[in-house]
Chains A and B, each alone.
Chain A
Amino acid sequence: MFNYTFQWKQAMARLPQMLDGALVTMQIALLSMLLGILLAVVLTMFRLSGIRVLAGFTKTWVEIARNTPALFQIYMAHFGVASLGIYLNPFLSLLVGITFNNAGYLAENFRGALKAIPDTQTRAARSLGLGAVGAFRHVVLPQMLRISFLPMTNQMVWAILMTSLGVTVGMNTDLYGVTQDLNALTFRTFELFAIAAVIFYVITKVITLGARLIAARLFRY
């Protein structure tokens, strides 16, 4: 039994506010993805460095990022670090939390991609006179990024959806935060969240389709 009369007009009047929220959501996801890729590359280099402390650092990061809820990571980025006297505003907390999560997952993606690149390539590059860093940068890294490109779009979608966890740290400018604010104001729960779901769906669909197009163009053999 579902006793409810939908009032789409009342909810649609709030659409511009929700679209503004969607922009913030995309901004956070995009930033967290760029930072996440950079960090994941560094983590991967640590892993390959052969230096025990650095490899251990990567391992710890990946373990925590992959085996604890994203909600916990975002919550710690806000309330956890605040108890150390570092105050991150909700936007930064959310960004840091998602970036931490992204970097962990992406480092694992990169590890898988590396397995697909034969060791002999590194050896060949080294014997041609490239240094360790040079061989990684010019030979391994481009292939690694290519192989893990589609898994990366997966993570991007995940980042978009994770922004909805920002409400736990006081975020109210992203799509989910805006929707929740409007819900408290009007009690038009079902219409507002249905609209939010459609917006989320469209964003992620555009990203996955876009990524496929880009991949088809970039990675032609």
Chain B
Amino acid sequence: MKKLTLTLGLLAFAAPSYADKLDDIIASGTLRCAVVLDFPPMGMRDESNNPIGFDVDYCNDLAAALGVNAEIVETPFPERIPALMSGRVDVGVASTSDTLERAKTVGMSIPYYAFENAVTVNDNSGITDWEGMRGKTVGATAGTYEAIWLEGQINEWGEGTFRPYQTQADVFLALSQGQLDATVSTVEVANANVASGNFPGISVVDKAPMVPDYVALFTLREEYGLINYLNLFVNQQVRTGRYAELYEKWIGEGEPADLTIPGIYR
């Protein structure tokens, strides 16, 4: 009898545990999101230093759907992957472009937002459209989709210089000072910075002819349960109109990018 109890006890310990990340999040009662807070209007801070923005609300919605508390973990663009891999965050709600190259490393959801990109120039540069950037000194925020595109474009032209800066603020400072002739950033960021008045002598002149920058939520590549949940969640945000609501709240009037699949998902 004693022996049997012991055996059963050992079996209970030895039995493999199937709790996945989704279970862990529900059990812990907290969803930790990596959010970039240097990327208005997606992620930023209000006057009392609280995180706000589209991505912050999106994380809060996700936590509410899971029935847990949301914890916003500020994560600069280059630190998104270390934050995930070292277990400091559960998911990234960080405007992460869903490139195939990156998807070899992390698991991406279906896109939850799409950016269009604009060309902003220093007024003294004489650039009037995106092709005017040929041969000029241009820059963008290191590690972003538009930076990768712009560097590729400069290489394709074979003339001009590309400079990545660490923060969006440094890019626009350099542009305003005249160290850069032009930059490519999301339309949202470009408009916000021109309107802010912090960077005199710059204007938005053109759209960049890029495939729209679709961004995805991300988590560990092998967490299928969580990725499935994220996909459904993104669909539900679109279906219920919450996506359009958040767009109006943070970006403003206008049409958000269409994230539906006709005949399948509204």
Contacts and interface: CB of A to CB of B under 8 A. Distances in A.
B251 to A, nearest CB: 25
- Is the interface on chain B under 10, 10 to 19, 20 to 34, or 35 or more residues? 20 to 34
A188 B106 CA distance: 10
Contact of A184 (B86, B147, B162): B147
Interface stretch (B97-105, B125-133, B227-235, B236-244): B97-105
B177 A2 contact: no
Interface in B179-221: 179, 220
B78 A87 contact: no
A79 interface: yes
A88 B106 CA distance: 38
Nearest to A79: B173
A187 B177 CA distance: 32
Contact of A79 (B86, B87, B174): B174
Contacts of A187: 81, 101-102, 104-106
A185 B163 contact: no
A180 interface: yes
A190 interface: yes
Interface residues of A, number: 30
A186 B103 CA distance: 9
B179 to A, nearest CB: 5
Interface in B154-190: 161-166, 170, 173-174, 177-179
B87 A180 contact: no
Contacts of A51: none
Contacts of B148: 184-185
Given A170-B165, A188-B105, A2 B87 contact: yes
Nearest to B222: A3
A183 B143 contact: yes
A168 interface: yes
Nearest to B102: A187
Interface string B50-77: 0000000000000000000000000001
B40 interface: no
B142 A190 contact: no
Contacts of B173: 79
B162 A172 contact: yes
A170 B105 CA distance: 26
Interface in A172-214: 172, 177, 180-181, 183-190
Contacts of A10: 104
Contacts of A189: 81-82, 85
B86 A2 contact: yes
B153 interface: no
Given A78-B179, A168-B165, A172-B162, 4 more contacts: A79-B174, A181-B142, A186-B101, A190-B85
* In the A-B complex, the 9 residue pairs with the closest CB atoms: A170-B163, A184-B143, A187-B105, A82-B177, A187-B102, A4-B85, A189-B81, A1-B87, A170-B165
Interface of B: 77-78, 81-82, 85-87, 101-102, 104-106, 139, 142-144, 147-148, 151, 161-166, 170, 173-174, 177-179, 220, 222
27 contacts: A2-B87, A4-B85, A10-B104, A79-B177, A79-B179, A82-B174, A82-B178, A82-B179, A87-B179, A168-B165, A170-B163, A170-B164, A170-B170, A170-B174, A172-B142, A180-B143, A180-B164, A181-B164, A183-B78, A183-B143, A184-B142, A184-B147, A185-B101, A185-B148, A186-B104, A187-B101, A187-B104
